[in-house]
Structure 1
Amino acid sequence: MEVWHEHFWQLRLEHCREALTRNNFRVVIANSCSEARAIFNETILPTLSVQTVSWADSMSLEATGILTDAKNLPGVTVIETFAEGVPREELLERRRQALLVDLFLTGSNGVTEAGQLVNLDMVGNRVGAITFGPRAVVLVIGRNKVVADVDEARRRIKRIAAPLNALRHDGWKMPCRKTSFCHDCRSPDRICNTWTITEKSYPKGRISIILVNEDLGL
C-alpha cells in the first residue's frame, strides 16, 4: 500500500474513532486483521466477565480470527447458532438464547463519520443483540464500512451489501440474486427486514468497536 493511501485511511479512521467515542462507544483502531485479533484477546477480553458467548454472521469476524478464538474460550459456554444439520427451528431458539449471553460478537453494515452504526437484518437477532440483551457487544468493522452519513449507509447497504449477501447463500430466491439490484421484493427469503440506527452505546462502553484499516466483509 502506498504511504499516502495508508495515511488517508489512518486519518479517516481516527476521525471516525473520535466520533464514536463521543457517542459512548469503546473504540480501538487496528492496522490489520492480526492486530485486531490481538486487541480483542489482550485488550478487550480481559476487561469482561464472560461465561457465555455467541455471535451473528460476520465475514469480518472470520477474517480476523476472532470468531475462532471466541469459540475456544476456556470454561465458556458457546451458543452456536449456525451449526450445520440442525433444524431451523432449533437455530432460531438458540438465537433467542444468544440475546442473553455475556458477550456477543458481530460486524456492522455501516458506520457514519458522525459515529452512528447503521444495520439491516433479516431475522433481527443481530440488530436485537446490538440494541439490548448481551452484557457486552464487540463489533469488528473494516474501513470499507465507513460512510458520510445515514443516507449513504442505507444506499450502500441496499445497493452493495444486501445483494452481495444474498448471493452468498445458495438456495435463497430473491430477485437481487439474478440482477444484483434491490427490487424491494416480497420474497419469503428477503433479507432486508429490520433497520437499526445506533446513535450511542448505552450503557456507556457496552459496545466495543475494533476499526480495522483493511477492507473487510461486504
Structure 2
Amino acid sequence: MDENIKWHQAMKIERILDNIRNNNMKGFYVKTREDLINKIKELVSERSVVGVGDSMTLFETGIIDLLRKENYIFLDKYKEGLTRAEKDKLYSDIFSADTFLCSTNAITEKGELYNIDGYGNRVSAM
C-alpha cells in the first residue's frame, strides 16, 4: 500500500479514536485477530459475566470461542438446544452482565455510533 494512503488512514483512525473519547467512550484500534483477543483478555476480567449482541464479527474474530473456552461466565445465547424460554432469560440476563460485547453497524468520523436492531437487545444493552 502506498505510504501516503497508510499515513492518511492512520490519521483518520486517530481522529476517530479522539472523537470517540470526546464522546465519553473508550476506543481501541487493533490490527490483527490476535491483538483483538489480547485486548479482550486485558479488558474483560476472568470469571466475569459476559453477554453478547447478535454479531457475526464476534464469531469471525474468534471472540465467541474465547468466551466459551476461557474462564468467563458466558451467557451463551447461541448454545445448541436452548428452549425459547431459556433464550429469553439469557436476553434478559444480558442487561445485568459485567460486560456486553457487540459490533456496531457504523461509526462516523465524529465518533458517533449508528445502530439498528431487530430485537432491541443489542442497542438497549449498549
> Does the pair score TM above 0.5?
yes
1:123-159 alpha-carbon deviations (Å, 9 max, x no partner) = 11111111xxxxxxxxxxxxxxxxxxxxxxxxxxxxx
What's the counterpart of residue 96 of structure 2? 100
TM-score, scaled relative to structure 1: 0.52
Superposed structure 1 runs of 4+ greater than 4 Å apart: none
Residues 9 and 60 from structure 1, CA distance in 2 versus in 1: closer, same or farther, beyond 3 angstroms? Answer: farther
What's the counterpart of residue 79 of structure 2? 83
TM-score, scaled relative to structure 2: 0.85
What's the counterpart of residue 22 of structure 2? 22
> Is the contact made by 1:81 and 1:91 (CA closer than 8 Å) also made in structure 2?
yes
Q: Secondary structure at the match of 1:30?
A: coil
What's the counterpart of residue 51 of structure 2? 54
Distance in 2 between residues matched to 1:16 and 1:50, nearest whole Å: 32
Where structure 1 has 5 or more consecutive residues not aligned to the other structure, the ranges are: 131-218
Does structure 1 residue 5 correspond to structure 2 residue 1? no
Q: Secondary structure at the match of 1:8?
A: helix
* Aligned counterparts, 1:160-171, within 5 A: none
Distance in 1 between residues matched to 2:60 and 2:84, nearest whole Å: 26
Distance in 2 between residues matched to 1:125 and 1:100, nearest whole Å: 12
Where structure 2 has 5 or more consecutive residues not aligned to the other structure, the ranges are: none
TM-superposed deviation, 1:107: 0.5
Question: Which one has the bigger strand percentage?
Answer: 1
Q: Secondary structure at the match of 1:123?
A: coil
- Between the two proteins, the alignment pairs up a number of residues equal to 126
TM-superposed deviation, 1:71: 2.3
Q: 1:85 is matched by which residue type in structure 2?
A: G
Distance in 2 between residues matched to 1:22 and 1:50, nearest whole Å: 31
Question: Which one has the bigger helix percentage?
Answer: 2
